[in-house]
Chains A and B, each alone.
Chain A
Amino acid sequence: MMIGLSEILELGLPLVLDPSVLLLAVVGTLTGLFVGAMPGLSSVMAMAILIPLTYRMSPQQAFGLLLPAYAAGTFGGAISAILLNIPGTGAAIMTTYDGYPMAQRGQAGYAIGLSCVYSFVGGIASAVFLAAFAPIVAHWAIRLGTREYFAVAVFGLAVISYLSSSLIKGLLGGALGLLLATVGMDVFTGVSRFTFGRAELAGGLEFVPVMIGVFGLGEILHTVDAGTREGAQLPQKIGRMLPELKHVLRCIPTAIRAIVVGMFIGIIPASGPTIGAVASYGLEKRIGKRRDQMGTGVPEGIVASETANNAGTGAAIVPMITLGIPGDAVTAVLLGALMLHNLRPGPALFTQRMDVVASIFILFFLGNILFLVFGLLGAKFFVRVLKTPQRILLPIVAALCFIGAYAARRSVFDVHVLVLFGVFGFLIRKIGITPAPLILGFILGPIVESNLRRGLITTGGSVSAFFARPVSALLLTLTLVLLFSPLLIRLAQRLHSALQRQPGKGASD
């Protein structure tokens, strides 16, 4: 079952080419860019802000607002990742690895331009894929279950430990993240773990305050501390805005790999775009042309991360629109938007309301074009942030982190969580532990634990059953290969060199 392009254009275009829809698409794009780029506000937040506005709109107007915001928000996360080393959204964590070093070298504009172009490429690729194969893919994806979710999350964790520059500290960061993820009521027994009687913790630690605490506030405290010591400054040079064509072209092989990885992982329900970006970055580090320079500020690193996370956006919409199964928190809001308009996702939508389906495809496409335009035009203004004196900029960014932590669920408690993790994030930086493995452990921990336990319950305690299904077998085999071959070699090498290396270099960043 494939949907014809002509059918989409014929039914969808007249609806989308309404001035009000186009205007809303621009508003949605700008909101998505702004919210995505703000440290402390995620694309889920963009959706939460916008959805109440859509209650009295037509479906086309509602999706005209929401879909471009989703696409732009996913790209927007890269902006603060590059400029401030604070990922605007979870999916942009890997973008900090190369984006921030580039900005420090005065290539902030270039880095933003590049992530904009390749976010667009990833988004469009997944939109085309979405339009062409949605129903087939969705029926494949629905067969995936507990064991595949477990495998993909374990795979993500393996990639992250593989990426850590100091193995011991990287693994420790990841393990701490896993531990933080166990806070809250146990899904299987209702037993409270580490909640200390607080209702706010019953559902676990909120993602936003933990992430912007460790990444945002922790980074700010670290910068202030480093600044007072060495007089170090945030990058002040901006550099050229638009990436040169030859640099863009050079990254095409990377982008193709990222699209494949991002879509494959994005289509597995409940995985979201973060694991896709991690896996893509890991793949690049393993087989990419410049694998040895990854993490020092090479364009391939940004492309691997940004192409993959945007390729995941279209893929996450597939199960939502065809079967009513949301792929992540953002698509869950989109599902709510469909319901609000009395539209029920599923095959009936494709037969009875093809106009809606067609306009969703076109608007998603349009959203990607819009953020490309606004992203490239706006790059100049975004990097101007760096012209603000650090002494004024940093307190303001910190204040935005506070407000963001509060805003996610209007909770003062979450501001306390933010501060706690901000100080924690600052202290771990002092001993050379990076935040990325910690946050990824925190994101992936519940997926690993729940699906491991659920898999054991549904299969009557069979461990081999995890290898009995092709996708999980593939991912788990890849995990074992990734973990054991290079890890043992690295472990041996590192123990060896740690004993010989001069102190002071022993702490890796």
Chain B
Amino acid sequence: MRHYFNSFTVTGIGALLIAAFVGRYLTNIPFAPLRAGLGPAFFPTVVAVLIGTLGVLSVGVGVAQARKQPHKTDVQPLRWRSALLIAAVVLYSLGMQYVGLLVSTAVFLFVAMIALGVRLRHAALATAAASAAIYVVFDVMFRIRLF
């Protein structure tokens, strides 16, 4: 199976999953006749069919490509640093309603910089400066209340 793993097959399978989800979701949503503007299900259905068709095409292209070059893939694997950063981002967004926007932003900045290999001292300084600047610009100058 491994050698079928390339960007077109992944794209195609992703597209088919999305199309399937949308198709299932839309079963409860009505259509209407042409003169009544076709109804709320019409447009998403057309888009889902389009996505599904493109998904099939994409899988086709991917399989053809894999047959030609079975041992190469053009999908870039996920690196641990990126995974770490994504985790930091997700934690940040989940945590912000409990600890507040400014605190979580500062923590995020610090963690992200450390993860990217900035020295502790520099990361702390940059975090403090950036947090202060964000607070001053948004909360004080623009009057967008951060919390």
Contact = CB atoms under 8 A, between A and B. Distances in A.
Interface of A: 49, 52, 168-169, 171-172, 175-176, 178-179, 182, 186, 188-189, 191, 193-194, 217, 221, 224-225, 228-229, 389-392, 394-396, 398-400, 402-403, 406-407, 410, 412, 415-416, 418-419, 422-423, 426, 430-433, 448-449, 452-454, 456-457, 460-461, 463, 495, 498-507
A168 B118 contact: no
B108 to A, nearest CB: 6
27 contacts: A168-B61, A189-B30, A189-B32, A224-B81, A228-B81, A229-B79, A390-B116, A392-B122, A396-B109, A399-B105, A399-B108, A399-B134, A403-B105, A410-B144, A419-B93, A423-B89, A426-B86, A431-B14, A452-B37, A452-B43, A454-B37, A460-B35, A501-B65, A503-B66, A503-B73, A506-B7, A507-B6
Contacts, number: 209
Contacts of A394: 112, 116
Contacts of A500: 68
Nearest to B82: A225
Contacts of B146: 403, 406
B35 A172 contact: no
B145 to A, nearest CB: 7
B57 A453 contact: no
Contact of A418 (B32, B66, B93): B93
Contact of B96 (A392, A415, A461, A498): A415
Contact of A507 (B25, B48, B74, B145): B74
B29 A191 contact: yes
Contacts of B30: 189, 191
Nearest to B131: A399
Nearest to B36: A457
Q: Which label, helix, strand, loop or mixed, suits the secondary structure of the A interface?
A: helix
A83 B97 CA distance: 32
A430 B143 contact: no
A396 B128 CA distance: 11
Question: Among the interface residues A396, A416, A495, A505, which one has the most CB atoms of the partner chain B within 10 A?
Answer: A396
Interface string B79-95: 10110011001101110
A431 B81 contact: no
Given A395-B112, A403-B101, A171 B90 contact: no
Interface in B18-74: 18, 22, 25, 29-30, 32-40, 42-44, 47-48, 50-51, 54-55, 57-58, 61, 64-66, 68-69, 72-74
Contact of B109 (A217, A229, A399, A506): A399
Contacts of A502: 68-69, 72
B39 A189 contact: yes
B116 A391 contact: yes
A364 B65 CA distance: 55
A169 B81 contact: no
B104 to A, nearest CB: 9
Contacts of A504: 69, 72, 74
- Which 8 pairs of residues, A with B, have the shortest CB-CB distance? A461-B35, A453-B37, A395-B112, A461-B34, A391-B116, A186-B40, A225-B82, A507-B7
Contact of B44 (A182, A422, A426, A506): A182
A402 B89 CA distance: 10
Interface string B113-129: 10011100011001000
Contacts of A193: 29, 40, 44
B11 A402 contact: no
A508 to B, nearest CB: 9
Q: Interface SS of chain B: helix, strand, loop or mixed? A: helix
Contacts of A501: 65
Nearest to B105: A399
A415 B93 contact: yes
B11 A431 contact: yes
B47 A178 contact: yes
A188 B40 contact: yes
A415 B79 CA distance: 24
Contact of A395 (B39, B73, B116, B138): B116
A221 B51 CA distance: 26
A347 B89 CA distance: 52
A186 B42 CA distance: 11
B115 to A, nearest CB: 9
B8 A191 contact: no
A498 B64 contact: yes
B6 to A, nearest CB: 6
Contact of B82 (A221, A392, A433): A221
Contacts of B1: none
Contacts of B122: 392
Contacts of A410: 144-145
Contacts of A503: 6, 65-66, 68-69, 72-74
Contacts of A399: 105, 108-109, 130, 134
Contacts of B76: 225, 229, 430
B50 A171 contact: yes
B25 A457 contact: no
Contacts of B55: 172
Nearest to A429: B76
B103 interface: no
A56 to B, nearest CB: 15
A454 B66 CA distance: 46
Nearest to B70: A503
Contacts of A460: 35
Nearest to A394: B116
Contacts of B75: 430-431
